[in-house]
Structure 1
Amino acid sequence: MRDEMRGDLVRESNTQHLEEQSMTTTYRAPGRGARVLARIRGPLVAIAVPFLVAATLWRVVPSSGIVEERVRALASLLGLLLIVAALLLARFGLGRPGAVAPIVAPSAGEWTALSSPATRIPSHGTHQYAQTWAIDLIHTPADRPRPSFGGARASMAPEEFPSFGMPVHAGADGEVVVVRDRAADRRSRNSWSLLPLFFVESFVRGILGWRFVFGNVIVIALDGGGYQAIAHLRKGSVRVAVGDRVSAGELIAECGNSGNSTEPHLHVQLMHRPRPGIAVGLPLAFVDSPVPERDQSVHWPVRPGADN
Structure 2
Amino acid sequence: MDVAEITQGAQPRARLLADFSAHLTAQRGLSAHTVRAYLGDVDGLLGHASRHGARTLADVDLPALRAWLGSMAGAHASRATLARRSASCRTFFAWAAHTGRIGTDPALRLAAPRVPATLPVVLDQDDAREVLEAARELAESVATPDPMAVRDWCILELLYATGVRVGELCAADVADVDLVERTLRVVGKGTKDRVVPFGGPAARALGAWLAVRSVVVADGATRALFVGVRGGRAGQRQVRDVVHRATAATGKEIAPHGLRHTAATHLVEGGSDLRTVQELLGHASLTTTQRYTHVSAERLRSAYALAHPRA
TM-score interval w.r.t. the shorter chain?
under 0.3
TM-score by length of structure 2 reads: 0.22
Name which structure has the greater RCO, CA cutoff 8 Å, separation 6+: 1
Which has a greater percent of strand? Answer: 1
TM-score by length of structure 1 reads: 0.23
Bigger radius of gyration among the two? 2
Which has a greater percent of helix? Answer: 2
